[in-house]
Amino acid sequence: MSAELEQVALEIISNAGIAKSEAFDALHLARKNDFHSVKEKLLQADSAINESHRIHLKLLSGQITCNTFQAQLLITHAMDTLMTCMSEIDLIKEMIGILEDKQEVIA
């Protein structure tokens, strides 16, 4: 397995994890009704997930190849992590929207 492939996989996983963490931070802030800070955290989450996706596109474009089973397994893990984090971030954004709507009704 090439070092470049390992680096790409780790960058996908790392950026996706950062994005997920920022999104959960935003959710925690939303629970405290700090919606100004929520927006900043969500921007950071979007930035990190977009970077992860940009790196993922290198794989889809064929710039990097997976010639071994181990390489395919690593990339599958990275792609699964990216897609799972994207799904969680979408759900977190919906939850924040619900909390924001609830706050507006109370106010």
pLDDT digits (tens, 9 = 90+) for 36-82: 999 999 999 999 999 999 998 888 777 667 778 888 889 899 999 99
User: What is the chain's mean pLDDT, rounded?
Assistant: 91
Q: Which of 28, 53, 56, 77 is catalytic?
A: 77
Q: How many domains does the chain have?
A: 1
Q: How far apart are alpha carbons 86 and 90 in whole angstroms? A: 6
Indicate if 53 belongs to the active site: no
Range of the domain at 22: 3-106
CATH of the domain at 89: 1.20.58.80
